[in-house]
A and B are shown apart, each in its own frame.
Chain A
Amino acid sequence: MVMLPIYMDNSATTRTDPRVVEKMLPYFTEEYGNSASRNHRFGWRAEEAVDKSRTQIGSLIGASPKEIIFTSGSTESNNLAIKGVAHMYRRKGDHIITCLTEHKAVLDPCKRLEKEGFNVTYLPVDRFGCISIEQLEEAITDKTILVTLMFANNEIGTIHQIPDIGKLCHDKGIVFHTDATQAVGKIPVDVEAMGIDLLSLSGHKMYGPKGVGALYVRRKNPRVRLDAIIDGGGHERGMRSGTLAVTNIVGLGMACEICEHEMPEEMQRLGALRDKLEEGIRAQLTDVELNGHPTNRLPQLSNLSFAYVEGEALMMGVKDVAVSSGSACTSASLEPSYILKALGVGDELAHSSLRFSLGRFNTEEEVDFTINQVVEAVNHLRQMSPLYEMAQEGIDLSTVEWSGH
């Protein structure tokens, strides 16, 4: 028997692993010291816990524990990385390169820097969501100080060619930051092998608690320096002041340790479930398009467009499964996902998209249930869709003159 509702929105957030919660609990009521308290046991014990977490995080991404800066999450990590580099290296140059499909937590800091006078290049992507290394190289000038490109996309799961980007940046002496929020803990990430200088990660995307994340900051070859955003007690080597959230940090460390141990098996299992989901749906429905790269993408994520039906209506039909939609009809704007638009997905297909993101706690029975509910909902909506009717009549929808409104 499947328990309803089913959670299949693990790219938004994940359930905290009970093993993580168990490790965290003593740090609320027993080991509650401030890790910056240098003169008593409470502080020492907290500092030990924080250091252990740094080691666990470092181990997962191939970094030294000293290179881990704790933050409140990926949004803060991205802000610190981008603004921190921009302000620190301002005299060297004023140019930053990113791409159109980045998360808002990267795009918005870049936009703020533009207002301060920095120049930002937003690289386009192809229909799979990949940037071109040649275009990146062409975009680099002697004023370029930072390239920030995500590891894996949050909506479509496409994985960027991180090692190639890292190598190019290092050859040119440019700092390379990657927002790896969706990738860390899910697929192998190695800051050394991939030439990453700054990397953002978040606890709650990998079965850890919300409200904690980290920024990896390279210490050698080259040593990366950041201008702090938050000033205060000089915590985290002066890059991020504020008493450390020891409880959350313990949870983040444990989450990383579990991910490191279970990743090989979990990637396989979720990849197989994802494939089953896609094949199960496509075996019963026509006109289902995959958004994102067919192979070079996260194993746990599937973004599908169901032609002729609208995403929000579809979510009403898929009522027992928590997924997300590329349609922004719920917001005041009628604009569909900017990420799908950047891929060149037509607006009507962008409005028709659903993102399924599987996680550690999803089962095969849940996937079976989801396939059935999606197929039923799409059929229900197509039967009342004027677009489906036109398509059945052989009308090319792109040639129709719509009235708009």
Chain B
Amino acid sequence: MAYSDKVLDHYNAPRNVGSFDKADPHVGTGVVGAPECGDVMKLQIKVNAEGVIEDAKFKTFGCGSAIASSSLATEWLKGKSLDEAGDIKNTEIVKELSLPPVKVHCSVLAEDAIKAALKDYKSKSETESPLAATPSEG
């Protein structure tokens, strides 16, 4: 099976590989998948005071299409609001990377990873709310 040029590009030069400190209150972390299924994605977002995703990072264990899906997701997440990030659909990833039907699950996993990271960030900011309510310049 031939890979699309975009998948190959993300595989050879993945964007935003790395990790943020999970404990950082501005960081949301999503880990989805399982090793026995052949893919695990860790996707992290760093959200600034304005609620905008200023940075995103990933690490993925999986095939080239899984790596490309998560790499692309980090590119798309940067600069988006949390709501906009939540609207990213796996079908858009499929289209952008020209994934064949057997690789659609890779894009689904990337969407799940985004949602998991957003959920993690939101749950953190809720528990941190007493702190967040302390005087700020806003």
Contact = CB atoms under 8 A, between A and B. Distances in A.
Report whether chain A binds chain B. Answer: yes
A101 to B, nearest CB: 19
A272 interface: no
A387 B61 contact: yes
B59 A404 contact: no
Contacts of B34: 402-405
Contact of B102 (A327, A332, A385, A387): A332
Contact of A313 (B11, B19, B37, B112): B11
A208 interface: no
A107 B57 CA distance: 45
Nearest to B19: A389
Given A402-B35, A405-B105, A405-B109, A313 B40 contact: no
Contacts of A385: 59-61
Given A310-B62, A403-B34, 10 more contacts: A310-B38, A329-B39, A334-B37, A334-B38, A346-B36, A383-B17, A384-B67, A386-B61, A389-B59, A402-B35
Interface residues of B, number: 34
Interface in B15-33: 17, 19, 31-33
B3 A316 contact: yes
Contacts of A331: 102
Contacts of A346: 35-36
B86 interface: no
Contacts of B17: 383-384
B46 interface: no
Contacts of B19: 389
Q: B interface, by DSSP: helix, strand, loop or mixed?
A: mixed
Contacts of B102: 330-332
Interface string A155-172: 000000000000000000
Given A332-B102, A387-B40, A405-B108, A313 B62 contact: yes
A125 to B, nearest CB: 20
A385 B59 CA distance: 5
Contacts of B38: 310, 312, 327, 329, 334, 336, 347, 351
B29 to A, nearest CB: 10
B108 to A, nearest CB: 7
A384 B59 contact: yes
A405 B37 CA distance: 8
Nearest to B37: A334
Contact of B33 (A313, A329, A402): A402
Contacts of A389: 19, 42, 59
A312 to B, nearest CB: 4
A330 B1 contact: yes
A348 interface: yes
A386 B36 contact: no
B64 A312 contact: yes
